[in-house]
Amino acid sequence: MTIAPVLSIVMPVRNEGLNLRIMLKILSAVVDVSHEVLVVVDQPDDASVPVVKALAPQYRQLHIVHNILGAGIINALRSGVSAAQGKYVLIFAADEVGPVLAIDDMMALMEAGCDFVSCTRYAYGGRRLGGSRIGGFLSRLANRLFCRLCGSRLTDATTGIKMFTKETFERLDLQARPVGWAVAFEMAIKAQLAGLRLGEVPIVSIDRLYGGKSTFRLGPWTAEYLRWFMWGFKELRRTHGEHGPVLVRVPSATALGGKVRM
């Protein structure tokens, strides 16, 4: 009988051969808990596929998931989460290093009772490095305004680095358009509206450490994120103060058993 892994790592990719090869080596070295890696592709001829096939003998829990629901991160996540067998599901992009180092802390918060754990680049010592300068500026500004104007309890609602259960994912009823990682913003908003027990882990996010071309597009991305910003503004202000605090686990203190802030 096959024993289900504790963690399912879902990574939507598009021609991420180099980043994926290096990321898998990092995962195998860092993640101690039983886990599976689900690499989600839109097209069977994606350059990531031969990389996965070549490395599959070394990683018995490495799988390709073909997204047949339509292009875009939201459909890739639906396909990946549907195929996941783990108790917990972690989502992030193959070109980001920071999430790997945060896995233990995210899982600790889930085990402590959180329903939805998100990483943060903008609080508790978190930082963002690399990537588009315009995208980075807009992300930092949007999250700051979202906290101050909308009362968001998550300091980095737009990050795509999140951990949850399959049941939580289905409960959120995601509706974002397939534009960038806007679905991650929607998830953060709806997790708060649903009254889920929330957790945050600060990270140093290094975007595209190994090169490659970013998919960031100023016009379409800004429009979709703005749409969810305005929706979240209306809904979160209406329910502000009705839910409990966010649990924060600071990685620098984990050697001493972890440090949790309320």
Residue 256 inside a domain? The answer is no
pLDDT in tens, 109-168: 999 999 999 999 999 999 988 767 787 888 899 999 999 999 999 999 999 999 999 999
Q: What is the overall mean pLDDT for the chain?
A: 88
Task: Give the structural domain span for 107.
Answer: 7-249
Token readout for 260 is 């949790």
Residue 161 inside a domain? The answer is yes
CA distance 54 to 210: 20
pLDDT value of position 208? 57
Residue 125 inside a domain? The answer is yes
CA distance 52 to 257: 36
Residue 258 inside a domain? The answer is no
Is 209 or 180 the better-scoring residue by pLDDT? Answer: 180
Is 18 or 40 the better-scoring residue by pLDDT? Answer: 40
pLDDT value of position 67? 97
Residue 257 inside a domain? The answer is no
CA distance 58 to 62: 9
Residue 97 has pLDDT above 80, yes or no: no
pLDDT value of position 206? 78
Q: How far is CA 67 from CA 14, 42, 74, 79, 233, in A?
A: 11, 5, 10, 6, 32
Other C-beta atoms closer than 10 Å to the C-beta of 254 total 14
pLDDT in tens, 207-260: 655 555 555 556 677 899 999 999 999 999 887 656 778 999 997 544 334 455
Segment 195-213 mean pLDDT: 79
pLDDT value of position 95? 83
Residue 180 has pLDDT above 90, yes or no: no
pLDDT value of position 255? 38
Other C-beta atoms closer than 10 Å to the C-beta of 256 total 7
Residue with tokens 């070549």: 54
| Residue 166, C-beta contacts closer than 8 angstroms, at least 6 positions apart | 81, 84, 89
Token readout for 87 is 């108790």
- As for how many domains the chain has, the answer is 1
Q: Which range among 69-78, 91-100, 238-247 has the greatest average pLDDT?
A: 69-78
CA distance 180 to 220: 9
Residue 38 inside a domain? The answer is yes
Residue 104 has pLDDT above 70, yes or no: yes
Residue with tokens 């990321």: 23
Domain CATH for 38: 3.90.550.10
Residue 71 inside a domain? The answer is yes
Going by pLDDT thresholds of 50, 70 and 90, the confidence category of residue 17 is confident
Other C-beta atoms closer than 10 Å to the C-beta of 173 total 9
pLDDT value of position 128? 87
- Which residues make beta-bridge pairs with 205? 128
pLDDT value of position 254? 43
Residue 238 inside a domain? The answer is yes
